[in-house]
Amino acid sequence: MTELITIPNTNTVTESRFPPLSIVGEKFINSLDCADNSVNTYSRQLREFFDWIYYAGKPHNLTAWTRQDILDYKRYLQTEYRIKTPNGKTVPLSPATVSGYLSIVRKLWSWMEQEGVCVNIAKTIKGMKRSQGYKKDTLSITQINDALEVFNLSTMEGLRDYAIFNLMVRTGCRDIEIVRAKVEHLRTLDGHQVLYIHAKGQDSANQYKVLTPEAERPIRAYMDARKKVQPFDDDYLFVSLSKRNFMQGLTTRSVSRIIKTALREIGLDDERLTAHSLRHTAITLAVAGGASLHQAQAMAGHKDPRTTQVYFHNQKRIEEAAEKCINF
């Protein structure tokens, strides 16, 4: 850990004597004990916060802040901050994203309190209420089959994209798990083909997805075509075929584009239908097909069974809908 911030007496700290925000941010980020991906996310969120401080003309001396200053930032995130979607639309932040930005602010003040810099005025700042339902919609079986028909299986790119779409909708893989998958992660476990995944929040590929023949065959077809172009051992399983990044790993943005393009090809151009929709679809189909809570949780990789339980509640709500009892 880098040298701690030392500030004499918070009652006498002036703007000029408080360390520059860049120094404060660097020391704070260096103090974090978490995965590299989380550090990158926190760094980006912290930069956004510091940018807002300059934009809003807030004191750079964070010890001079009050709880109201942080509430002002929260209000800015809710009402003014906008992001561009892949299709060019400008939209407000989702409640989950707002909560993420507020979380790093709470962490920052908690750290400053631990360092003896100031009192933690952010600990009572609440995040946004999260929706109890799905953030993304699911696909019907007909829509899945229609989407799989759009890929050109006479090309390596088409074989790759088909394999990715098919794998995600049959196993519930996240886009980051697709990006991190390597050839060596394809293994046999107790006589069954599996793909070990480097899941979100994990340090290594220590979880796995069971590959049914329907999930495995497209992957093998893609790999056979790829071998003719370039041999591979421990390379990434799904790679870029562009001239600029040939045979390098895909990005989550690339995976998102592959899925969105396929959905648009069949007339599904909705912001609630994304690559993450395939994960929701896989879990929903597993539950509808008779999977138990334990089975569905294991496939989804949910730490908390209550997250998986939402899918069961949704199915029961539809099957036992009171609306169906209304007849006139």
One domain, residues 244 and 305: yes
One domain, residues 109 and 169: no
Write down the pLDDT at residue 128: 84
Counting other chains too, the contacts that 287-294 makes at CB distance below 8 Å and 24 or more residues apart are 287/311, 287/312, 287/315, 288/315
Q: Does residue 154 belong to any structural domain of this protein?
A: yes
One domain, residues 180 and 231: yes
Q: Does residue 5 belong to any structural domain of this protein?
A: no
One domain, residues 249 and 212: yes
Query: Mind listing the pLDDT tens digit for each residue in 153-188?
Result: 999 999 999 999 999 999 999 999 999 999 999 999
Q: Does residue 46 belong to any structural domain of this protein?
A: yes
One domain, residues 175 and 51: no
Quote the number of domains for the chain. Answer: 2
Instruction: Tell me the whole-structure pTM to 2 decimals.
Output: 0.71
Backbone conformation region of residue 149, classed left if phi is above 0, alpha if psi is from -120 to 50, else beta: alpha
Query: What is the side-by-side order of every strand in the sheet holding 192-197?
Result: 186-189, 192-197, 207-210
Write down the pLDDT at residue 125: 92
One domain, residues 28 and 89: yes
Q: Does residue 192 belong to any structural domain of this protein?
A: yes
One domain, residues 240 and 315: yes
Q: Does residue 297 belong to any structural domain of this protein?
A: yes
Q: In the predicted model, is pLDDT for residue 251 greater than 70?
A: yes
One domain, residues 148 and 66: no
Q: Which amino acid is at 29?
A: I
Containing structural domain, residue 253:
141-325
Q: In the predicted model, is pLDDT for residue 12 greater than 50?
A: no
Among 196, 184, 193, residue whose Cα is nearest residue 212: 193
Query: Mind listing the pLDDT tens digit for each residue in 253-299?
Result: 999 999 999 999 999 988 889 999 999 999 999 999 999 999 999 99
One domain, residues 169 and 282: yes
Model confidence at 133, pLDDT cuts 50, 70, 90, reads: low
Q: In the predicted model, is pLDDT for residue 135 greater than 80?
A: no
One domain, residues 313 and 192: yes
One domain, residues 198 and 80: no
Write down the pLDDT at residue 131: 59
Q: Which residue has the higher pLDDT, 45 or 34?
A: 45
Q: Does residue 129 belong to any structural domain of this protein?
A: no
Q: Does residue 194 belong to any structural domain of this protein?
A: yes
Model confidence at 141, pLDDT cuts 50, 70, 90, reads: very high
Report the CATH number at residue 84.
1.10.150
Q: In the predicted model, is pLDDT for residue 15 greater than 60?
A: no
Q: Does residue 135 belong to any structural domain of this protein?
A: no
Report the CATH number at residue 315.
1.10.443.10
Q: In the predicted model, is pLDDT for residue 86 greater than 70?
A: no
Model confidence at 16, pLDDT cuts 50, 70, 90, reads: low
One domain, residues 168 and 72: no
Q: Please say which residue of 68, 99, 114 terminates a domain.
A: 114
